[in-house]
A and B are shown apart, each in its own frame.
Chain A
């Protein structure tokens, strides 16, 4: 049976040794090379053309992300799985943008890594379940943040004016000064606007204003 040829790239030798032992213990996987930094990883990937390159994002010298891009560009047959400590969605997005196929968190290395490598070998994308959960939650949360305001929501010209200033990030005091009205009046306007639009926070107001083109931003 043809084994999945894996290139290991991590700046921590101990981790590399552990991973190598784990991967080599699998009947269908063999580690063909090891790199201590990004540049070396790219070089080895070109030389060995492995099926899978397993990369850490944080590496000295050439950064992991850049390495992902280069490897994808230079040897298109190699699929990249990232093994990382970073749980921020931003990193996941960057990895996917750079052409990575799999994203595994280090804390789930012993359970998810093998699945990820096998999936990537089959040409399937793999994202650590812990990350997908947060992704989906974030996505749902985003949707949830602010529904459409009631159709009959209609703001008076003064309220629209106040809304534009609130959305532009001015404090009640500043708005009061700009419109030459009292702070109390601004607060009343704001309460009315929130009620009419069904908004729960200033963020909702900003999004609404953005939607209605009340904000002119550079």
Chain B
């Protein structure tokens, strides 16, 4: 457990170092590796050389020591035997002088006494104890640790030990100095190699990374959108090939970007034109906006749009042209020119094209200071029909426009053409709608007037005549009392007369109730709802809210009255209702009329089935719409039907009701 944890921690440490190493730049990596290799080599060689040299030198030192000791022994034997101390001293002195490595030498006679020695005072006693030579071996070497370092002590017996013993001590002083010198030389060599290695590594990585770094920098620039940046080719190696491939790629990128941008510009221009023409129903404003956008996209500074209105060509929009030129173009019959010809003949194949030396611009140059000579003509097409021409003025040098641009202009021309057509249709529709509304209004008011007239005629004239007939018959009856049989006949006539009067009254009330004009909408509706209930045997309720102090404008009142009439007729014919409710409510800004029944209902989305009810609802919708009102039906099979009519009617439109609203605005009666 513990061991595996340690292993894991080691691994993670190794990974961290690995990451740190791989994250370093190439220069640091290369230099680091060079330094490490050179150092390793230097240290290893120095180590090996030092060990080897020390061993070899030590061996040769010992060999030399043995030779010196033996020489000393052979030369000193006689002197020892003769007891020539002086000779021995001389011999030792000479030996030390001729062998710088000899630290000391001394001779022990057969009695174990020091015969001669090289020490200034006496031979250290502990030195005497060590390295006792045996008789068998010719010599014996012992290493002694002294204050002056290691001493190789060599003992050589004299005459097999019978004559004494020679002891020679060799110091490693010179040996160590030699080894140290060698090590210093090696370290110096390593340092030099390291320097050279580092410089070489830096230079090499420079050579490799410089182009790569530059390539990186260029790549970043390209990434930021500078597609014109090129990578430099330093050498004909792999990096050079990479630079070439990179440059080829950026060239391709730049080309496709330019293509895209051009497409984008074209689309943006087209879009701008479409937005310009579709945002306005005003044709002139739309054309001016479209022209401005087109000029912006080319770019050009001046242009105009010629439309064919009837037989006359007019300058419908212009931009950047002198006012005088425009006025002249619009005031007089325009001299024939190619684009007008196209307009008249509708020959699309001639367009779009560059018009060189346009006669109109020529005249403009002469009279109004127009700066251009040529123009570009773009057909404005609607359903493959030329409805106008968009001309863009240009200096002649500019005239050679690319084919791609022409196709864009063609597309713009089509859009503008469609917009012109739409605007015309829209205008036409609007006019028709207005006319329709006016006609309908007039029709309705004429109908109301006519009904009013007929109702009054029936009511007053025919009614009075019948009444007088009735009265006359009554008189006749009184006078004819005596003549039997006749009074019965008169009674029958009176009956018929009264019946006719009643019918007349109902007819006139249906045509135009005098209550509406004389008592106001609330009383009229109340009467109508009550009559409806009586006539059809259903529970009919009416409630008006908020009309205590106000009355409605007469056209609103008649419309609401007719709407209720139509709605109740629908209820009577189709709903099979038991209860009918009519509500008239005034809100601060509107009048709301609700007609509700609990009949069989219907699906408002599938009205087509019942033509009569459908037409009735259409009539209601139409009347509400003419007053700017809104009509809503809520119904479902088996759920009854509720009609909502909301007519905007602010307080300003409501007239304060007087005590007798009918008296003041009652028109003079028609007496015929």
Where the two chains meet, the residues of A that have a C-beta atom closer than 8 Å to any C-beta of B are 10-12, 14-15, 17-19, 21-22, 25, 56, 58-60, 63, 65-66, 85-91, 94, 106-111, 113, 134, 137-138, 141, 145-146, 168-169, 171-173, 187, 200-204, 206-207, 210, 215, 217-218
B592: interface (CB < 8 Å):
yes
Smallest Cβ-Cβ distance to A26: which chain B residue: B478
B451: interface (CB < 8 Å):
no
Whether A145 and B541, one on each chain, are in contact in the complex, defined by CB atoms closer than 8 angstroms, is yes
How near does chain A come to B316, taking the closest CB pair, in angstroms?
45
Whether B546 and A15, one on each chain, are in contact in the complex, defined by CB atoms closer than 8 angstroms, is no
**Selected contact of A60 from candidates B523, B582, B634, B669, CB within 8 Å:** B669
**Selected contact of A59 from candidates B639, B662, B669, CB within 8 Å:** B669
B475: interface (CB < 8 Å):
yes
Smallest Cβ-Cβ distance to A186: which chain B residue: B634
* Other 4 A-B pairs with CB < 8 A, given A85-B460, A171-B644, A172-B642: A60-B669, A107-B505, A168-B585, A169-B585
Whether B663 and A110, one on each chain, are in contact in the complex, defined by CB atoms closer than 8 angstroms, is no
Whether A106 and B663, one on each chain, are in contact in the complex, defined by CB atoms closer than 8 angstroms, is no
**Selected contact of A21 from candidates B471, B545, B588, CB within 8 Å:** B471
Whether A94 and B475, one on each chain, are in contact in the complex, defined by CB atoms closer than 8 angstroms, is no
Whether A15 and B467, one on each chain, are in contact in the complex, defined by CB atoms closer than 8 angstroms, is yes
Chain B residues touching A, majority SS: helix
Across the interface, which residues of A come within 8 angstroms of B579, CB to CB?
200-201
A107 to B456, CA, bound (A): 16
Whether B471 and A15, one on each chain, are in contact in the complex, defined by CB atoms closer than 8 angstroms, is yes
**Selected contact of A12 from candidates B465, B502, B542, B660, CB within 8 Å:** B465
Whether B663 and A217, one on each chain, are in contact in the complex, defined by CB atoms closer than 8 angstroms, is no
A107 to B524, CA, bound (A): 21
Whether B459 and A22, one on each chain, are in contact in the complex, defined by CB atoms closer than 8 angstroms, is no
Q: Mark B509-538, 1 if CB is under 8 A from A, else 0.
A: 100011100110001101100100110000
**Selected contact of B527 from candidates A59, A90, A206, CB within 8 Å:** A90
Across the interface, which residues of A come within 8 angstroms of B534, CB to CB?
137
Whether A107 and B498, one on each chain, are in contact in the complex, defined by CB atoms closer than 8 angstroms, is yes
Whether A169 and B468, one on each chain, are in contact in the complex, defined by CB atoms closer than 8 angstroms, is no
**Selected contact of A86 from candidates B514, B543, B644, CB within 8 Å:** B514
Whether B634 and A58, one on each chain, are in contact in the complex, defined by CB atoms closer than 8 angstroms, is no
Across the interface, which residues of A come within 8 angstroms of B498, CB to CB?
107-108
A85 to B599, CA, bound (A): 35
Whether B475 and A21, one on each chain, are in contact in the complex, defined by CB atoms closer than 8 angstroms, is yes
B129: interface (CB < 8 Å):
no
Smallest Cβ-Cβ distance to B522: which chain A residue: A90
Across the interface, which residues of B come within 8 angstroms of A12, CB to CB?
460-461, 464-465, 468
Give the number of residues in B that approach A within 8 Å (Cβ atoms): 71
Q: Quick one: which of B598, B646, B660 has the most chain A CB within 10 A?
A: B660
**Selected contact of A18 from candidates B469, B592, B666, CB within 8 Å:** B469
Q: Quick one: which of B470, B526, B541, B639 has the most chain A CB within 10 A?
A: B541
* A-B residue pairs in contact (CB < 8 Å), sample of 30: A11-B669, A21-B471, A21-B475, A25-B478, A25-B479, A58-B459, A60-B669, A63-B662, A63-B663, A63-B666, A85-B463, A90-B526, A91-B518, A91-B519, A94-B660, A106-B464, A107-B502, A109-B471, A110-B471, A169-B594, A172-B642, A173-B632, A187-B639, A200-B579, A201-B579, A203-B541, A203-B542, A203-B581, A204-B581, A217-B545
Whether A210 and B545, one on each chain, are in contact in the complex, defined by CB atoms closer than 8 angstroms, is yes
Whether B465 and A15, one on each chain, are in contact in the complex, defined by CB atoms closer than 8 angstroms, is yes
A101 to B592, CA, bound (A): 38
Whether A169 and B587, one on each chain, are in contact in the complex, defined by CB atoms closer than 8 angstroms, is yes
Whether A169 and B660, one on each chain, are in contact in the complex, defined by CB atoms closer than 8 angstroms, is no
How near does chain B come to A70, taking the closest CB pair, in angstroms?
12
With A11-B671, A58-B460, A201-B579: A218-B543 Cβ-Cβ less than 8 Å:
no
B399: interface (CB < 8 Å):
no
How near does chain A come to B496, taking the closest CB pair, in angstroms?
12
Whether A58 and B598, one on each chain, are in contact in the complex, defined by CB atoms closer than 8 angstroms, is no
A12 to B470, CA, bound (A): 14
Q: Quick one: which of B514, B543, B580 has the most chain A CB within 10 A?
A: B543
A94 to B662, CA, bound (A): 11
Smallest Cβ-Cβ distance to B592: which chain A residue: A169
Across the interface, which residues of B come within 8 angstroms of A21, CB to CB?
471-472, 475
**Selected contact of A217 from candidates B459, B478, B526, B586, CB within 8 Å:** B586
Across the interface, which residues of A come within 8 angstroms of B467, CB to CB?
15, 18, 106-107, 109
Across the interface, which residues of B come within 8 angstroms of A107, CB to CB?
467, 470, 498, 501-502, 505
A10 to B464, CA, bound (A): 9
A99 to B501, CA, bound (A): 27
**Selected contact of B463 from candidates A106, A202, A204, CB within 8 Å:** A106
How near does chain A come to B545, taking the closest CB pair, in angstroms?
5
Whether B459 and A88, one on each chain, are in contact in the complex, defined by CB atoms closer than 8 angstroms, is no
Whether B596 and A202, one on each chain, are in contact in the complex, defined by CB atoms closer than 8 angstroms, is yes
B315: interface (CB < 8 Å):
no
Across the interface, which residues of B come within 8 angstroms of A85, CB to CB?
459-460, 463, 505, 508
Across the interface, which residues of B come within 8 angstroms of A204, CB to CB?
541, 581
With A14-B465, A15-B471: A202-B546 Cβ-Cβ less than 8 Å:
no
